[in-house]
């Protein structure tokens, strides 16, 4: 079996290399090849039609088959018209250089008030500090696109473009990442920049090119290069006109900028709209104002755009063939605009990726994906069977990959996703973990451990912002001092600090939120009979049993101090001994163990005015030797105040609210329903009190002054 894998791996490598060389060669003569392909396909379509007609005629002569022609196909007796229509349909598809990216607007209905425009963004070129082969990626929301790989140079040129949908309240901060490519090992992230696409709405399209500094992922204050980016925003009316103008330009065979009635008629027939076909002469005459029998592309495009508002001419996408809803003009226009590319000669970006790291992956990842060792996915698979854990960055509204060593992933999958692995844990491995955590804790408190700090920062570059740290790096004498680092007071602002009826996030973490335990078991926690009683032990009350559950999972690279989500008084603490399983989703999604109810943890109860009682559970994990608190029983605390910290390792905080006491923010619930963790920071809004919401006084608008 192993020999077979090696053989197939080698074949896949050769095939990939051949394809790469073919693509490189095609790029050199891209225009000529496109013209040849169009001609060949047109000839092939004619041959197919003629062959089909001959076959039908032979069938009729032999007395078999139905003598009636299919009226929906528009076939004529001589067979000439279907040939022309098929040619047009093929040209529409050939003219579109589709990527593998799906269109988000096809899976959700976009309201008119949420539509900001269509952004055409082009990654032009860059200036780097050393020579290499370069690759650029752009990420917006849950979509990532990549350019082709440049030649060996310090001034790569891509001229790659992509159209992106912009929503007023959706993702608008695009991240541009530049990688140096290394086919033998991996591609390295060298620099990045972030572009607010909505800012381009107020700019003149005549000056749509800007140069941005590329920042070092390890330090946002270090510039590693510069990149030129062009972006222009189309409004809905201009987008529709531009789209119609592109389609009409394909029908303009002699490229004189004018269409005859026959050319226009063929186009309407190709769309398959019978009602529009009956009125095509009437529509054409409305555009032909001077009566010379031809109209310009701009005149006809304007007329078609107006006509499409009254009575849609296009009932299906001419590129992908998807049936379009007649009553939804906005989403139809967005779909066709993103589906159809005008073929300007610039390299269109490749899509279908979730993160820039996936987009930058080379043939090694493709090989591992083929062998089912690795894959990118959203949801439970990202925790239980894949080596890449994806989370949704709430602030920047995009997917990011959690950095974790692959050897650790493989070992966790071997232990927590099998009965055999957990059997080892039951037969003494738990004691080994506890002993290992204690030894590692002591090691991280030694002076020698300080030399590990730079390596740690480098490994988690782009996910640790040293500009937020309160003290300079040289002040940390041990690794643990750095691990429990404090942040500058302004680094984590508290949402609505004066309003105690609004709860906030308790940690920098990956968050999952559920209205009930039943929801959490269905979407996330797959352990054996997880329950609130098992989590809280003797601190559990009937109000907590059906209450809301919020899980704050801290990864090693996170700020490891946890804070109060609500204001109130600490009633009591309860320390519960237990194991030190990892709190990684791979273990949480395991059906063989209960991470949260079996691990060492400390339960505290906070009595509040607006939320009733709130249970705050600090859970230890592998390599976490201790849980430290900075407050004691009887203390009155304000939301956002520091509560304590975890020593080296990742860990978790769980908050349990009484039933019907909090309305958790919708975006957090929506992501959790998809089994997708949300990356949040201390102080971000978590939810609003339900109990006291009716007593909140609104300001008197008459007394307000501008």
Angle between helices 261-271 and 80-95 (to 10 degrees): 80
For 3, counting Cβ atoms within 10 Å of its Cβ (0-12 exposed, 13-18 middle, 19+ buried), the class is: exposed
For 313, counting Cβ atoms within 10 Å of its Cβ (0-12 exposed, 13-18 middle, 19+ buried), the class is: buried
Q: Which two tokens stand for residue 162?
A: 């992509």
Q: Residues of 467-481 as b/e, b for ≥16 C-beta within 10 angstroms?
A: ebbeeeeeebebbbb
Among candidate residues 356, 361, 355, 360, the one with its CA nearest the CA of residue 373: 361
Give the Å distances, CA to CA, from 568 to 305, 379, 541, 575.
60, 35, 18, 21
Q: Which two tokens stand for residue 108?
A: 């959700």
Q: Which two tokens stand for residue 638?
A: 């304000």
508 is catalytic: yes
Catalytic residue among 96, 360, 651, 672: 651
Distance of CA 362 to the CA centre of its chain: 20
Catalytic residue among 132, 508, 519, 558: 508
Among candidate residues 345, 334, 373, the one with its CA nearest the CA of residue 235: 334
Taking the CB of residue 662, how many other CB atoms lie within 10 A of it? 30
Q: What is the rounded CA–CA span in Å between residue 269 and residue 634?
A: 79
Catalytic residue among 95, 172, 563, 610: 563
Taking the CB of residue 546, how many other CB atoms lie within 10 A of it? 14
Residue 624 DSSP code: -
Residue 389 near residue 376, CB atoms below 8 Å: no
Three-state SS for 521? helix
Q: What is the rounded CA–CA span in Å between residue 706 and residue 702?
A: 11
User: Element (H or E) spanning 241, and its range?
Assistant: helix 236-251
Three-state SS for 580? coil
Q: Which residues contact 441 (CB under 8 A, 6 or more apart)?
A: 480, 623, 625, 626, 647, 648
Give the Å distances, CA to CA, from 216 to 181, 187, 189, 403, 468.
17, 15, 9, 17, 16
Q: Which two tokens stand for residue 250?
A: 């394909």
76 is catalytic: no
Q: What is the rounded CA–CA span in Å between residue 334 and residue 329?
A: 9
651 is catalytic: yes
Q: What is the rounded CA–CA span in Å between residue 582 and residue 82?
A: 65
CA dihedral 328→333→336→338, nearest 10 degrees, is -120
Q: Which sequence positions are flagged as catalytic?
A: 508, 563, 651
């Amino acid at each position: 079996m192993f020999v077979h894998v090696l053989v197939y791996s080698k074949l896949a490598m050769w095939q990939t290399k051949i394809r790469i060389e073919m693509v490189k060669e095609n790029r050199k003569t891209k225009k000529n090849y496109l013209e040849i392909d169009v001609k060949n396909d047109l000839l092939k379509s004619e041959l197919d039609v003629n062959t089909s007609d001959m076959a039908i005629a032979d069938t009729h002569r032999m007395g078999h088959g139905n003598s009636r022609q299919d009226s929906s196909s528009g076939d004529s007796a001589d067979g000439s018209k279907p040939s022309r229509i098929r040619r047009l349909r093929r040209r529409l598809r050939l003219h579109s250089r589709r990527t593998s990216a799906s269109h988000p607007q096809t899976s959700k209905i976009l309201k008119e008030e949420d539509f900001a425009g269509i952004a055409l963004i082009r990654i032009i070129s860059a200036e780097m500090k050393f020579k290499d082969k370069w690759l650029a990626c752009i990420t917006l929301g849950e979509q990532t696109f990549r350019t082709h790989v440049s030649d060996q140079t310090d001034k790569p040129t891509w001229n790659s473009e992509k159209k992106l949908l912009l929503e007023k309240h959706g993702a608008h901060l695009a991240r541009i990442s530049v990688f140096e490519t290394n086919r033998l090992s991996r591609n390295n992230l060298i620099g990045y920049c972030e572009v607010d696409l909505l800012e381009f709405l107020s700019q003149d399209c005549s000056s749509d090119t800007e140069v941005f500094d590329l920042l070092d992922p390890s330090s946002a204050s270090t510039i590693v290069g510069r990149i030129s980016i062009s972006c222009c925003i189309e409004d809905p009316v201009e987008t529709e006109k531009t789209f119609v103008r592109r389609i009409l330009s394909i029908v303009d065979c002699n490229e004189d900028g004018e269409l005859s009635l026959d050319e226009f008629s063929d186009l309407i027939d190709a769309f398959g709209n019978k009602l529009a076909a009956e009125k095509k002469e009437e529509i054409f005459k409305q555009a032909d104002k001077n009566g010379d029998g031809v109209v310009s592309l701009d005149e006809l495009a304007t007329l078609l755009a107006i006509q499409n508002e009254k009575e849609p001419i296009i009932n299906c996408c001419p590129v992908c063939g998807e049936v379009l809803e007649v009553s939804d003009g906005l989403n139809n226009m967005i779909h066709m605009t993103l589906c159809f590319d005008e073929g300007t000669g610039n390299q269109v970006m490749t899509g279908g990726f979730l993160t820039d790291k996936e987009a930058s992956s080379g043939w090694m990842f493709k090989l591992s994906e083929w062998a089912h060792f690795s894959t990118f996915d959203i949801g439970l698979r990202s925790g239980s069977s894949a080596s890449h854990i994806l989370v949704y960055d709430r602030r920047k509204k995009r997917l990011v990959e959690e950095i974790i060593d692959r050897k650790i992933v493989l070992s966790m999958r071997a232990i927590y996703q099998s009965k055999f692995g957990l059997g080892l844990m039951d037969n003494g491995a738990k004691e080994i973990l506890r002993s290992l955590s204690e030894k590692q804790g002591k090691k991280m408190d030694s002076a020698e451990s300080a030399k590990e700090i730079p390596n740690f920062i480098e490994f988690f570059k782009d996910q640790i912002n040293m500009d937020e740290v309160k003290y300079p790096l040289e002040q940390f004498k041990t690794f643990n001092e750095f691990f429990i680092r404090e942040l500058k007071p302004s680094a984590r602002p508290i949402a609505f600090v004066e309003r105690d009826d609004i709860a906030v996030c308790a940690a920098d973490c990956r968050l999952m939120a559920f209205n009930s335990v039943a929801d959490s078991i269905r979407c996330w926690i797959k352990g054996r009979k997880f329950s609130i009683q098992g989590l809280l032990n003797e601190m559990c009350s009937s109000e907590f049993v059906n209450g809301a559950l919020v899980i704050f999972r801290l990864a090693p690279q996170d700020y490891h101090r946890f804070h109060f989500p609500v204001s109130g008084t600490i009633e009591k603490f309860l320390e519960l001994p237990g194991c030190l399983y990892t709190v990684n989703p791979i273990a949480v999604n395991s059906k063989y163990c209960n991470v949260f109810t079996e691990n060492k943890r400390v339960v505290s109860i906070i009595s509040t005015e607006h939320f009733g009682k709130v249970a705050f559970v600090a859970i230890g994990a592998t390599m976490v030797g201790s849980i430290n608190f900075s407050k004691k029983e009887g203390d009155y605390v304000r939301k956002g105040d520091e509560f304590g910290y975890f020593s080296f390792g990742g860990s978790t905080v769980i908050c349990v609210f009484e039933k019907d006491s909090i309305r958790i923010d919708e975006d957090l619930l929506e992501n959790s329903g998809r089994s997708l963790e949300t990356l949040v920071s201390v102080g971000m809004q978590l939810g609003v009190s339900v109990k006291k919401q009716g007593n909140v006084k609104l300001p008197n608008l008459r007394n307000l002054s501008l």
